[in-house]
Structure 1
Amino acid sequence: MTAAAAHLSARPARPRHLAGTGALLRLALRRDRVMIPAWVLALGVAVASMGSSFEALYDTAAKRVELAGSMNANGSMRALYGPVFSDSVGGLIAWRMAGFGAVLAAVMSLLIVVRHTREEEETGRQELLSAAMVGRRAPLTAALLAALLANAVLAVLIAAGLAKSGRPAAGSLALGLAIGCTGMLFAGLAAIAAQLTESARMAKGLTGAVLGLAFALRAAGDAATADATSPLTWISPIGWSENLRPYAGERWWVLLPFAAATALTVGAAYALTARRDIGMSFLPARPGPAAAPRSLSGPFGLAWRLQRTTLLGWTLGFLCAGGIFGGIAKGAADLVGDNRQTREIFERMGGQQGLTDAFLATMLGMLGMIAAIYAAGAVLRLRGEEIGERAEPVLAGAVGRIRWAAGHLSVAFAGTAVILASGGLALGLSYGVSVGDVGGHLGPVLAAALAQVPAVWTLTGLAVLVFGVLPKATTAVWAAVGGCLAIGWIGPSLKFPQWVMDLSPYGHLPKLPGAEATAAPFLWLLGLTAVFTAVGLAGFRRRDIG
């Protein structure tokens, strides 16, 4: 052996931080073989097929010019959808889907990353894998690569679909990149959250809170300016996606902030993961008291202890959102002239009882649809406790299955009413102050917010049904929630058939405040909720744990 060879053989081998990345990536794609294609196809096809809907609704250039002018002249509509930068069909597609698509891509990405990082550690699977030839950074790398692949395919599908339907190739590519890049940025943020928090639920909640803040900043900025130049809009990554301006003189340089922010977040995630042990976090749980309080003596107290932080966060978020929406509701009636098309859009979304009431009804409906995300997560916490092997020790004692499940379900059902009441209260107060009539508007707006509860409870009952009967198909719950959100968000403006609108429980609710309401739809939804819940609990009582 030569001296050089001997020297090299004596040197310690460098740690293979990325060893096993390929195998973990294949495993992640195998586990997400349903979720990722469902997200990508649903969102990609929705964006790519929207051009035909706009061509049917606004078949002349004059109609499109009138629509763009009306939307840009109204701060409330800009807060909801953003400004219109071009009155072409492609420009209307970008106006309608740049922000909405970016939000959905962000949700998809955070679910992928958290599932294959913090959730793997929380369940103990990552420790088992790390005992083999798996590098320290391999799990995070595999999760980010899975998110990158999903967002890349989504961007290509959007760009190719729009280009094939006759839209300009540059604008189609810009819109695809705007949505895909937003998804990757939030994948990086989710990776950071997975290092900071001790549970997958907290990581998702923290990233979701950042996403909600980004949407609120974008809404406030667009409400203030008609050309998306507000500093609030530029602070938000969702604002970057619309400022890329597909089909309106694309600003390709806006991709630079996306690239820089993504690189920064991913680099921070790698730095953090190198400085902690598997299963640990930078924000660990505080040690509890030596003796448990009496409130933890039963399953209801335990469920409240586990879910109270999440409920508090959602409540504060709805308070902020309600305050913002109530403050801009006054501008709903400040339209340029007597524009028939704008009035029709308002009426399809919020009813025919007047523009301001229609806007309030639209905002409350959106809060109701978002509340279903909280409700589904609260119910599926049962599944998390089950697969995390924390439910079995509880059920081994004197606590029955139904009683244990009832503790979490009480938080899910009651918490839904609490967060909707908080959003309605803030919206009613903010709007009442802006028009100088708090007493006359607070009660109706609060009642309208609570009127969303039966629809949310129907989806909550559906989550119970899936948990009890098909526990391994919990992805279907998120698909149902996302489908209802998509129907309610884009269905009215694109005149979806009534049978499609009726697939969502929200489509059966009266447009409050202002519209006439009868008890029938509420009773039907509550009855359906009871059936779903009863069947789900019966199935849970009979199936095996785990």
Structure 2
Amino acid sequence: MSRFGTLLGQRVRRDWRQLLLWTVGTALLAYLSYVGVAESYGTEQDRTSLLAAALANPVILLFRGLPSGTDAGAFMVFLIFPWLALLAALMSTFLAVRHTRGDEESGRAELVAATPAGRTLPLLATAVHGLLANALLAALVAAAFLSVGLEVEGSLVAGAAAGAVGVAFLGVGLFAAQLMRTSRGANSVAVWATLLTFLIAGIGNAIGTPSDDLTRMESSWLTWLSSFGWAENTRAFADDAWWPLALCVGLGLVLAVVSVALVSARDLGESFVAERPGRAWASAALSSPTALVWRVTRGAIVGWTVGGLLTGLLSTSLASIVSEISAENPSVAQILEQISGEGDIEQGTVTTFFTMLGVLAACCAVQIVCRARQDEAHGTAEPVLAAPVARTRWLGGYLLVAFAGIVLVVAAAIAGAAGGIAGQDGDWDLMGDVLVAGAGQVAAASVFLVVTALVFVLAPRLTIAVGWSLVVLGMTLGLFGPLFGLPEWLTHLSPIAVTPFMDGDQLDVRGLWWLVLAAAAGVAASLALMRRRELATGD
């Protein structure tokens, strides 16, 4: 076998489980989306009403796609396509960084570079590996749409558009890996680039030009600055335009070529963005392992906290808008009731946004536990544990900081919700719903935290894959379960879907005590088991 084939095969063997989760999960989301849309918006009148309401209140388009008509397929793409593309983008950036900057950090790249493969062949193998992964994702998404009887060309365009976004961000990940000194820094740059371009596309759609019948939106120039916007302008099941996909693929290939040039122009292990030099002496604030965990994770916590602030702001700012939409379209009210309970529409909107907040808080916690696994795998945990620091104290530091991150994300959302009410001179009675929903999501996110910690203790090499998979599964069941028409018992398997809410003036605690009990038991079990576990270095 050729050197290139050997490297490519190694990447496939190393990643096949993770890629299976990403690609099949994305295709399953596409399939269930159509099933849910067909059930909840089965008539053209329902779809027309929702599109008109969305175009009349463009802020809703920040989190949806580009309206292209009332056809069932086009309407489904409007509702779900940005999320399919987002999953493809995240899959691609993580893949690119893992096999480039991640391998340099672990020392694997140095060993490969000492062989005839050299410096550039591994990067080329990673690029081809990413292209194959996105081709598989595109094929599965297209197959999901075809399986429900949608048109062939529209299905192919929608699948190819999701894969093309992945290719664009594969290039972003490869480029970020050349710029930053650590895989953590490269992943941060790539993820922020992903979220920023996602938001740019949403804003560009929101300030576009609606059609006279309020069923179609023409993008503004801003949308064309984002690869998400390029893919949305294929307008699957409406125009079926293929040419915007060339922009996505072209961007990915250009960035890959630039990355090949950059990797040849720098020393192994170095980067083009220099790390900030540290102090010669640590401050007193770093006198404990918990303080060290806070120091290395505070940047990520700040990022998730900003997301919490924006979510809280939107929850109360949009409450009155959604109330107006629901009055015109009973299907919207039904979905909100399924997600949040039987309260009024404004209460339901707050609870729905805070369900999204629970996902953000869970992401913050899981990322911090995954950092514990990375420190263990890279050997940076050993010097800490060589000091008089017990394993339980070391893991306890990560759990404590992760819980603090959850609290900060939720507190920022509560502050944002208060700001949204003040900015619109709204109903301050909603703050009671905000506080109840926020407290409930702290408990829900804590369950994700302790389950990931248990995986870290029992099967450390599965920590990252299982931790993030659980968050995606919880998000799918909790946020999209009602849209997909899933049974209530299945939706309620997600911790974020069984948190307390206000039903009028009455508090319904739902599964709060089970969440608290599960979180407490998980903390106790993970710390007890950690006492007996040896370090597990390596991937």
TM-score clears 0.5: yes
Q: Which amino acid aligns with 2:150?
A: R
- Tell whether the 8 Å contact from 1:465 to 1:532 is kept in structure 2 after alignment: yes
For structure 1, which segment, 260-269 or 362-371, has the greater mean C-alpha deviation from structure 2 after superposition?
260-269
Structure 1 Cα separation of the partners of residues 240 and 72 of structure 2: 15
For structure 1, which segment, 64-73 or 361-370, has the greater mean C-alpha deviation from structure 2 after superposition?
64-73
2:15 is aligned with 1:36:
no
CA 1:66–1:439: 2 relative to 1, 3 Å = closer
Instruction: Name the SS for the 2:483 alignment partner.
Output: coil
2:526 is aligned with 1:543:
no
User: Which residue among 165, 175, 188 is the counterpart of 2:148?
Assistant: 165
Q: Which amino acid aligns with 2:108?
A: R
Alignment partner, residue 86 of structure 1 = 69
Structure 2 Cα separation of the partners of residues 63 and 326 of structure 1: 25
Alignment partner, residue 166 of structure 2 = 183
**Which residues of 2 match residues 455-494 of structure 1 at below 5 A?**
455-474=444-463, 475-494=465-484
For structure 1, which segment, 522-531 or 329-338, has the greater mean C-alpha deviation from structure 2 after superposition?
329-338
Alignment partner, residue 125 of structure 1 = 108
CA 1:58–1:327: 2 relative to 1, 3 Å = closer
CA 1:439–1:201: 2 relative to 1, 3 Å = same
Q: How many Å apart are 1:241 and its aligned residue?
A: 2.6
User: Which residue among 199, 207, 210 is the counterpart of 2:190?
Assistant: 207
Q: Which string of whole-angstrom CA distances, capped at 9 and with x for unpartnered residues, describes residues 254-287 of structure 1? A: 2232133223322332232222222122223222
For structure 1, which segment, 23-32 or 456-465, has the greater mean C-alpha deviation from structure 2 after superposition?
23-32
Structure 1 Cα separation of the partners of residues 207 and 420 of structure 2: 17
**Which residues of 2 match residues 378-527 of structure 1 at below 5 A?**
378-433=368-423, 435-437=424-426, 441=430, 444-445=433-434, 447-474=436-463, 475-511=465-501, 516-519=506-509, 521-527=511-517
Structure 1 Cα separation of the partners of residues 259 and 134 of structure 2: 19
Q: Which amino acid aligns with 1:33?
A: W
CA 1:431–1:228: 2 relative to 1, 3 Å = farther
2:126 is aligned with 1:143:
yes
Q: How many Å apart are 1:387 and its aligned residue?
A: 0.7
Q: How many Å apart are 1:32 and its aligned residue?
A: 0.9
Alignment partner, residue 241 of structure 1 = 231
- Tell whether the 8 Å contact from 1:171 to 1:247 is kept in structure 2 after alignment: yes
- Tell whether the 8 Å contact from 2:204 to 2:223 is kept in structure 1 after alignment: yes
For structure 1, which segment, 148-157 or 526-535, has the greater mean C-alpha deviation from structure 2 after superposition?
526-535
Alignment partner, residue 360 of structure 2 = 370
Identity of aligned residues (%): 33
Structure 2 Cα separation of the partners of residues 534 and 164 of structure 1: 46
2:248 is aligned with 1:258:
yes
- Tell whether the 8 Å contact from 2:339 to 2:497 is kept in structure 1 after alignment: no
2:201 is aligned with 1:218:
yes
Structure 2 Cα separation of the partners of residues 404 and 189 of structure 1: 35
For structure 1, which segment, 180-189 or 50-59, has the greater mean C-alpha deviation from structure 2 after superposition?
50-59
Structure 1 Cα separation of the partners of residues 521 and 261 of structure 2: 49
Q: Which string of whole-angstrom CA distances, capped at 9 and with x for unpartnered residues, describes residues 197-255 of structure 1? A: 22222222221122222233333344444515234433332233322110011222222
For the pair shown, which has the larger CA radius of gyration, 1 or 2?
1
Structure 2 Cα separation of the partners of residues 189 and 99 of structure 1: 18
For structure 1, which segment, 351-360 or 372-381, has the greater mean C-alpha deviation from structure 2 after superposition?
351-360
Instruction: Name the SS for the 1:451 alignment partner.
Output: helix
For structure 1, which segment, 515-524 or 92-101, has the greater mean C-alpha deviation from structure 2 after superposition?
515-524
TM-score, structure 1 normalization: 0.89
Q: Which amino acid aligns with 2:80?
A: M
Q: How many Å apart are 1:66 and its aligned residue?
A: 4.3
Q: How many residues are aligned here?
A: 527
Structure 1 Cα separation of the partners of residues 235 and 20 of structure 2: 27
Structure 2 Cα separation of the partners of residues 520 and 362 of structure 1: 15
- Tell whether the 8 Å contact from 1:329 to 1:431 is kept in structure 2 after alignment: no
CA 1:417–1:28: 2 relative to 1, 3 Å = same
Instruction: Name the SS for the 1:517 alignment partner.
Output: strand
- Tell whether the 8 Å contact from 2:347 to 2:433 is kept in structure 1 after alignment: no
2:318 is aligned with 1:335:
no
CA 1:263–1:541: 2 relative to 1, 3 Å = same
CA 1:312–1:337: 2 relative to 1, 3 Å = closer
Structure 1 Cα separation of the partners of residues 24 and 385 of structure 2: 40
- Tell whether the 8 Å contact from 1:327 to 1:430 is kept in structure 2 after alignment: yes
Structure 2 Cα separation of the partners of residues 279 and 239 of structure 1: 35
Structure 1 Cα separation of the partners of residues 365 and 342 of structure 2: 30
- Tell whether the 8 Å contact from 1:98 to 1:241 is kept in structure 2 after alignment: no
Alignment partner, residue 292 of structure 1 = 282
Alignment partner, residue 361 of structure 1 = 351
Q: Which string of whole-angstrom CA distances, capped at 9 and with x for unpartnered residues, describes residues 128-147 of structure 1? A: 22122222112222222222
Q: Which string of whole-angstrom CA distances, capped at 9 and with x for unpartnered residues, describes residues 378-402 of structure 1? A: 0111111111011112112211111
Structure 1 regions of 5+ residues with no counterpart?
1-18
- Tell whether the 8 Å contact from 2:98 to 2:183 is kept in structure 1 after alignment: yes
Alignment partner, residue 531 of structure 1 = 521
CA 1:442–1:246: 2 relative to 1, 3 Å = same
For structure 1, which segment, 151-160 or 214-223, has the greater mean C-alpha deviation from structure 2 after superposition?
214-223
For structure 1, which segment, 111-120 or 198-207, has the greater mean C-alpha deviation from structure 2 after superposition?
198-207
- Tell whether the 8 Å contact from 1:350 to 1:361 is kept in structure 2 after alignment: yes
For structure 1, which segment, 293-302 or 85-94, has the greater mean C-alpha deviation from structure 2 after superposition?
85-94
Cα root mean square deviation, aligned: 2.5
CA 1:309–1:338: 2 relative to 1, 3 Å = closer
Structure 1 Cα separation of the partners of residues 30 and 238 of structure 2: 17
Instruction: Name the SS for the 1:273 alignment partner.
Output: helix
Q: How many Å apart are 1:72 and its aligned residue?
A: 4.2
2:326 is aligned with 1:345:
no
Q: Which amino acid aligns with 2:452?
A: A
- Tell whether the 8 Å contact from 2:315 to 2:349 is kept in structure 1 after alignment: no
Deviating beyond 6 angstroms after TM superposition, the runs of 4 or more aligned structure 1 residues are none
Alignment partner, residue 47 of structure 1 = 30
- Tell whether the 8 Å contact from 1:110 to 1:207 is kept in structure 2 after alignment: yes
Q: How many Å apart are 1:430 and its aligned residue?
A: 2.7
CA 1:544–1:515: 2 relative to 1, 3 Å = farther
User: Which residue among 77, 84, 103 is the counterpart of 2:86?
Assistant: 103
CA 1:367–1:49: 2 relative to 1, 3 Å = closer
Q: How many Å apart are 1:174 and its aligned residue?
A: 1.0
Structure 2 Cα separation of the partners of residues 59 and 312 of structure 1: 42
Structure 2 Cα separation of the partners of residues 516 and 138 of structure 1: 63
Instruction: Name the SS for the 1:462 alignment partner.
Output: helix
2:1 is aligned with 1:23:
no
Alignment partner, residue 14 of structure 1 = none
CA 1:224–1:432: 2 relative to 1, 3 Å = farther
CA 1:83–1:70: 2 relative to 1, 3 Å = farther
- Tell whether the 8 Å contact from 1:487 to 1:501 is kept in structure 2 after alignment: yes
- Tell whether the 8 Å contact from 2:433 to 2:501 is kept in structure 1 after alignment: no
Alignment partner, residue 152 of structure 1 = 135
Q: Which amino acid aligns with 1:539?
A: L
Q: How many Å apart are 1:169 and its aligned residue?
A: 1.2
